[in-house]
């Protein structure tokens, strides 16, 4: 598959148009592919580059690329980007026919858009209007991410904002809904939030006022970043705890293979202050004879520094298992 970058084409979404900007962008790219301006194997612009070029949100471009991929027009290679799919219909004849229709419409004093709408509904692309517009206006979009990153997390939580340009009041209402979902998700990561609290600044200035769409988007994006960070931390913690439990179980099964190893309940994610340590039975003699055991000790330290010369910890108990 060729790796050359598709040359940018002059396109700027019109927020005043009756069509959502995501639909405008999707149809523009479909037209470029159909006319052969974007050929099979040609690399599409990156999501961020196209968003900046078209003047739309990056989530809008992600949604457009997703729909084009579902329609078999583009293909995405992990780590390489998106390309015009092999076998995507493309012919210069399409552009010639469109140019002739445009000239005929102007000569007859007819708005070319009306001609396009009639052609679209009557014959040419009967499913395009049924698919493109609802996809822009839909509230739910199922997607199960394979790994935690901002783009996939936004898709999982249905944070598509490709239609927010339609109406400011609806946009603010939808953004507040998204913010509420993110805050509810964040509340389930209490352990991770403790470490995040120190590095998280307030999202909004303290003075009371009605937040605009741009500020709500910043709040939503900040919460999304915090949630992705918390999820990543929770995933790493779960892996560490699982490995610690596996080591502890192996210590109990074969103490001699894990000499002097120590695992604490804090490392396994379990409650209490137990710890498991492999040590020789009968002291130095046991070490010489390879008699190893797992000693289980318990007891949480007393809160605060000990007074005087007393013991440094609370009550403790011990148990042994080994061979």
Question: Which two tokens mark 240?
Answer: 């560490």
Highest mean pLDDT out of 56-60, 154-158, 168-172: 56-60
* Residue 67 to residue 76: CA distance in whole angstroms: 12
- pLDDT per position as a tens digit, 25-74: 888 888 888 877 788 888 888 888 888 888 888 888 888 888 888 888 89
Residue 28 contacts by C-beta under 8 Å, 6 or more apart in sequence?
Answer: 9, 11
- Which residues sit opposite 43 in a β-bridge? 5, 83
Beta bridge partner(s), residue 317: 298
Would you state the pLDDT for residue 246? 92
Q: Are residues 182 and 265 in the same domain?
A: no
Q: Over the chain, what is the mean pLDDT? A: 71
- Are 25 and 132 members of one domain? yes
Q: 243 lies in a domain?
A: no
Q: In sequence order, what are the beta bridge partners of 276?
A: 263, 296
pLDDT of 181 reads 82
Return the higher-pLDDT residue of 86 and 207. 86
Domain contains 286: yes
Check: CB of residue 73 under 8 Å from CB of residue 87: no
Q: Quickly list DSSP for 46-91.
A: PHHHHHHHHT--HHHHHHHHHHHHHTTSEEEETTTEEEEPTT----
Q: What is the CATH number of the domain that holds 99?
A: 1.10.10.10
Residues 90 and 154 in one domain: no
Q: Are residues 25 and 130 in the same domain?
A: yes
Cα–Cα distance measured from residue 43 to residue 131, given in angstroms and rounded to the nearest whole number: 25
162 and 227 part of one domain: yes
Of residues 170 and 47, more confidence is placed in: 47
pLDDT of residue 133: 35
In the chain, how many domains are there? 3
Query: Same structural domain for residues 112 and 189?
Result: no
Q: Which of 137, 166, 182 is the last residue of a domain?
A: 137
Determine the Cα–Cα distance for residues 53 and 55; give it in Å rounded to an integer. 6
Same domain, 97 and 158: no
Is 245 a member of any domain? no
Distance set, CA 153 to CA 20, 76, 148, 157, 230 (Å):
24, 18, 6, 6, 12
Determine the length of the chain.
323
Cα 65 to Cα 88, 95, 171: the distances in Å are: 14, 22, 22
* The two three-digit tokens of residue 151, written as one number: 């783009």
The torsion angles phi and psi of 266, rounded to 5 degrees, stand at: -60, -35
| Cβ count within 10 A of residue 242 | 12
Alpha helices in 188-212 (DSSP H): 190-197
pLDDT value at residue 149:
57
291 and 183: one domain? Answer: no
Q: Residues 114, 183: one domain?
A: no
| pLDDT tens-digit map of 200-249 | 444 454 455 566 777 778 888 888 888 888 888 888 888 998 999 999 99
Give yes or no for a contact between 61 and 54, defined as CB atoms under 8 angstroms apart.
Answer: yes
Residue-number span of the structural domain to which 155 is assigned: 150-201+211-236
43 part of a folded domain: yes
Looking at the chain, the whole-number percentage of residues with pLDDT higher than 90 is: 2
> Do 294 and 231 share a structural domain?
no
Same structural domain, 226 and 171:
yes
Per the domain annotation, does 9 fall within a domain?
A: no
Asked whether residue 307 is domain-assigned, the answer is no
* Structure confidence at residue 116 (pLDDT): 65
Residue 4 lies in a domain: no
Same-domain pairing of 180 and 230: yes
Does some domain include residue 154? Answer: yes
pLDDT in tens, 98-128: 777 778 877 888 776 676 666 655 543 334 3
């Amino acid at each position: 598959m060729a790796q050359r970058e598709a040359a940018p084409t002059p396109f700027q979404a019109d927020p005043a148009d009756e069509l959502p900007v995501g639909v405008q962008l999707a149809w523009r790219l479909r037209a470029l592919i159909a006319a052969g301006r974007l050929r099979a194997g040609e690399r599409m612009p990156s999501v961020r580059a196209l968003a900046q070029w078209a003047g739309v949100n990056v989530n809008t471009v992600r949604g457009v690329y997703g729909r084009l991929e579902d329609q078999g027009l583009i293909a995405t290679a992990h780590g390489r980007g998106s390309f015009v799919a092999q076998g995507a219909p493309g012919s210069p004849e399409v552009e010639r026919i469109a140019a002739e229709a445009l000239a005929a419409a102007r000569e007859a004093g007819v708005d070319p858009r009306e001609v396009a709408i009639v052609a679209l509904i009557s014959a040419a692309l009967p499913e395009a209007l049924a698919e493109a517009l609802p996809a822009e206006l839909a509230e739910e979009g199922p997607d199960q991410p394979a790994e935690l990153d901002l783009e996939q997390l936004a898709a999982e939580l249905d944070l598509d904002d490709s239609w927010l340009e339609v109406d400011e009041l609806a946009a603010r209402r939808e953004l507040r809904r998204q913010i509420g979902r993110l805050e509810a998700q964040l509340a389930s990561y209490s352990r991770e939030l403790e470490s995040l609290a120190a590095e998280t600044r307030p999202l909004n200035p303290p003075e009371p006022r009605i937040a605009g769409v741009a500020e709500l988007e910043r709040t939503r994006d900040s919460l999304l970043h915090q949630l992705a960070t918390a999820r990543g931390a929770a995933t790493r913690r779960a892996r560490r705890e699982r490995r610690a439990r596996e080591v502890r179980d192996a210590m109990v099964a074969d103490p001699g293979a894990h000499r002097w190893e120590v695992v604490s309940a804090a490392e396994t994610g379990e409650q209490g202050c137990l710890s498991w340590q492999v040590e020789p039975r009968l002291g130095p003699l046991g070490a010489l004879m390879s008699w190893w055991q797992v000693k289980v000790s318990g007891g949480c330290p007393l809160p605060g520094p000990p007074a005087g010369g007393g013991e440094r910890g609370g009550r403790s108990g011990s148990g042994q298992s080994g061979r």
